[in-house]
Amino acid sequence: MNLTQREHIATVVNALSASPSSMAVQHYDPQIRDSWRRCVELYGFEPGRMQQARILTARELNDHRQPLDEFRHIAQQGLAQLYQQIAPAGYMALLTDAHGVAIDYCGDQQAEIPLRRAGLFPGAQWSEASAGTCAVGTALATGKALTVHQTDHFDATHIPLTCSAVPLFDPTGPLLAIVDISALHSPQPKNNQHLALQIAQIAARQIENAWFSHRHRQDWILRLSEPDLCLAADSEFLLAFNDSGQLVGHNHRAQRMLETELGLSALALHSLSPLRGQRFAQIFQQSFEQLPVYPDRQASLDLLHSQRSLIISALVAPAPRRQQRQIVSSPLPAALTALDSGDAAFHRQLQRAAKLLNSSLSLVIHGETGSGKEIFAKAFHQASGRAAGPFIAINCAAIPATLIESELFGAMPGSFSGASSKPKRGLIQEANGGTLFLDEIGDMPLALQSRLLRVLAEREVLPVGASRPIPIDVRVISASHHPLQQRVDSGHFRADLYYRLNGARITLPPLRERSDLDALIDTLLAARYGISAAARHCLQQHHWPGNLRELRNVLDYACEMAEQGWIEPHDLPEELQVSATTAIFASPQPQCAEAEQLLQSLRAAQWNRAAVARQLGISRMTLYRRMQRLGIRSPLDSH
């Protein structure tokens, strides 16, 4: 035990033995002091206790992971994105279940040993009852986000750590998981961690909202906000209703608001919500049928009991039913999972890549332009044991022929006309210890191909003008959008280099052949914008020659055009609108006759939807859904 640990134990003893009103006690954060007290009084810990976090066995960990497999699939994408933001500052990200067991993690693989020793690793048990005061455990005990910084920890073993944890709640009510970001080293004052806590809170809300949208993709999702807080995403109330207007899910904020509204006492953090099953009309003054499907700027809802008004920020219609994706029982590493949105062919490539992560084989990625080859290579690097090393991407077609040699291999001072007076490190050397991504490798000049071959064969690089080679350790991933074999056959590419590069081949499907377009749209819109069934239909009809790059550009454009956070066909670029109209009205689809009939009824009733719903013997909500599915929009709704 070192001096700092001894001092810490003395501080805990003093804080717990002083009278609650004494100045010494008031000096401590009440959340931390209460937790220290629980450690002694509830869990029976000695203040001098020093125990490393317990790590569960693989089988025990599996028992904690399995019930959350579907949630983990969503959360891993958020965790990987969070990690990208915080890794440069030396943090790692953990996801724990509601028992405080770390079920997933993104961290620096080079620091695996110290992270594992500190318990920042899958299988570590971070409940208060197991580890004493700690961010995960105390967030679980209180249901509140907090930072537990260095000597805030009860157990002196953990005092080097700084950890910020945020609870996530299931739409059925109970606390579901914790997002935690931690660092092994940090500056002393706790207020340095304020930003870390905020970043963890944003990530946790995004994961919670993505899980909410996923769980309720077949329901009506109503997003409400306080009139003066419309812009604060974290201030939103999320409610999900089934087709008959019964509440089937809510976020935690909405639960707290409705408990107050309906005079219910707040329930324990782990209980199922008693609010589920409440009818729309028991909560709001309007009826479910009167909900405007395309909310305009003024649309609001009045709460039944308090008459308080809330703004409708969006009403998202149920997604058209599509084949449910199979959740894979052995999840991929988080960085690869982040790319997986349910297409079977793409998923097979991810699984294949996962098996190659730590082999020394070179990889070639084939795929049309914009199909995500570089993003795939980057994710592969992040999931591999080289993640802490550099990822260097080179577009072999974009570097001028005169510079490519020195750019790639480096150059000694004055080795060619125009060379600088200092030695220049080449990009291959920059990638040492990491991954070198050679894009458009098929366009590399033949002379350079021989030199690259030497790098790969000898694992050393010879800068231009140098007499001694430099040893190099790189994983090479190359990409090409024309089949490399054809370049070999036509004499443009060296066969021996081809065989060296082509240790394993990954083929990315073009977007038009992927079955996960809907999921990709949802991911790219990140729950910030809703999209009508008609606009989705337009996107589904498009051929996507520019693949994911084109999809991203189209959605960025549509978000700029959209009003009220809602994307309609007229918000899409014109060429996509045309293809949808042609698809609906020129092809002999069964939908076409149905759309035509419904249009006639609506026009005959001068777009009085209540009358048409009565006439067809269906509810107004069902009529709205049908109109959305068929891409029919009332002219009375246009802005």
Ligand X SMILES: Nc1ncnc2c1ncn2[C@@H]1O[C@H](COP(=O)(O)OP(=O)(O)OP(=O)(O)O)[C@@H](O)[C@H]1O
Does 279 interact with ligand X (rule: CB under 6 A)? no
For residue 393, with 0-12 CB atoms within 10 Å meaning exposed, 13-18 middle and 19 or more buried, which class applies? middle
Q: Of the candidates 236, 231, 194, 185, which has an alpha carbon nearest to the alpha carbon of residue 213?
A: 236
Which amino acid would we find at residue 112? E
Q: By C-alpha distance, which of 391, 393, 421, 415 is closest to 403?
A: 415
Mask of contacts with ligand X, 226-265, x by CB under 6 A? ----------------------------------------
Cα gap 582→469, rounded to integer Å: 62
Backbone angles phi, psi at 231, to 5 degrees: -85, -15
CB of 549 to ligand X, least distance (A): 4
**Which part of the chain contacts ligand X (CB under 6 A), choosing from 255-263, 365-373, 408-416, 557-565?**
365-373
Q: Report the residue number, 35 or 478, with the smaller CB distance to ligand X.
A: 478
Please tell me whether residue 366 binds ligand X under the rule CB under 6 A. no
Q: Does 367 bind ligand X (CB under 6 A)?
A: yes
Please, which residue, 376 or 566, has the CB nearer to ligand X?
376
* Rounded Cα gap, residues 581 and 587, in angstroms: 10
The site map against ligand X for 280-319 (x = CB under 6 A) is: ----------------------------------------
Give the whole-angstrom CA distance, residue 449 versus residue 445.
6
Assess 347 for contact with ligand X (CB under 6 A). no
**Interface with ligand X, residue 107, by CB under 6 A:** no
117 binds ligand X (CB under 6 A): no
Residue 336 beta carbon to ligand X: minimum distance, rounded to whole angstroms = 11
Tell me which of 260, 306, 369, 486 binds ligand X, using CB under 6 A.
369
Residue burial 199-227, b: 16+ Cβ < 10 Å; e: rest? bbbbbbbbbbbbbbbebbbebbbbbbbee
Count of residues that interact with ligand X, criterion CB under 6 A: 16
CB of 514 to ligand X, least distance (A): 10
Q: Does 339 bind ligand X (CB under 6 A)?
A: yes
Residues 6+ apart with CB under 8 A from 418: none
Q: Which residues are bridge partners to 164 per DSSP?
A: 147, 181
Of 147-155, 228-236, 509-517, 548-556, which segment contacts ligand X by CB under 6 A? 548-556
Q: Which is nearer to ligand X, 128 or 440 (CB)?
A: 440
Report the nearest approach of ligand X to the CB of residue 76 (Å). Answer: 14
Q: Shortest CA distance to 206 belongs to which of 61, 115, 85?
A: 85
Name the token pair of 606. 């001068």
Q: Mention every residue, 6+ apart, whose C-beta is less than 8 A from residue 353.
A: 336, 363, 376, 380, 383, 506
**Residue 482 interacts with ligand X (CB under 6 A)?**
no
Closest to ligand X by CB, 190 or 366: 366
Binding of ligand X by 552 (CB under 6 A)? yes
Residue nearest to ligand X (CB): 372
Nearest-approach distance from CB 340 to ligand X, in angstroms:
9
**Is residue 516 involved in binding ligand X (CB under 6 A)?**
no
Give the DSSP letter string of 58-88: HHHHHHHHGGGHHHHHHHHHHHHHHHHHHGG
* Nearest partner of 208 among 255, 249, 174, 170, judged by Cα: 170
Shortest Å distance, C-beta 519 to ligand X? 10
Return the number of the residue (523 or 541) whose C-beta is nearest ligand X: 523
- Under the rule (CB under 6 A), what is the footprint of ligand X? 339, 367, 369-375, 439, 479, 481, 524, 548-549, 552
